[in-house]
Amino acid sequence: MASSGSLHPTLLVLLLLTVAATASTTTTFVRAGAPPADLAERLQGVGQQQCWEILMDIRSCTGEIILFFLNGEAYLGPGCCRAIRAIEQRCWAADAMLSVIGFTAEEGDMLKGYCDAGDDGNAGKGQRHGIRGTLAAAAVVAGRKGLGAP
């Protein structure tokens, strides 16, 4: 029984040391982090502002994009393709950005595939590409399944 009497104070000291170490570590961690930015500060960031401007460029050519999906064959101008490429390359959540103006992730992949297919040297010569070839290109670009040509 003599050993159990000395065990309780030892456990109590060990428990107090553990609590003290945890409290000081947590305090240091909270102080080391920067205060969270409010919504206004985050929205005024240079990269995010640029993404919203690019999104407005895409929105200005939605007529061309809608015809692209409805007719299966249409011409997307270089301005539209430039905006689509820019949002895919510069914005961290391209699929979410495109969903703001009503396009699904798959439609975004198709648009990117179309514009990338135009980079083969035919861009600017007024050639029109069909949407069926774009489906396969979009599947390769996006690495997603289910977008292959029928």
DSSP 28-75: HHHHHSPPPPPHHHHHT-HHHHHHHHHHHHHHHTHHHHHHHHHHSEE-
Phi and psi at 25, nearest 5°, equal -65, -45
Buried b / exposed e along 4-32 (16+ C-beta atoms within 10 A):
eeeeeeeeeeeeeeeeeeeeeeeeeeeee
**pLDDT 10s per residue in the chain (150 long)?**
455 566 666 655 555 445 555 544 443 344 444 455 555 655 555 567 788 888 888 888 888 888 888 887 668 888 899 988 888 888 877 888 888 888 898 998 898 898 888 765 554 444 444 444 444 444 444 444 444 444
- Give the pLDDT score at 40: 60
- Domain-by-domain residue ranges, the chain? 47-142
| Encoded amino acid at 32, one letter | A
What is the predicted pLDDT for the residue at 116?
A: 87
pLDDT in the model for residue 148 = 42
Three-state DSSP class for residue 145: coil
CB of 87 closer than 8 Å to CB of 97: yes
* The length of the chain, given as a count of residues: 150
Bridging pattern class, strands 73-74 and 129-130: antiparallel
Q: In this predicted structure, what is the pLDDT of residue 137?
A: 44
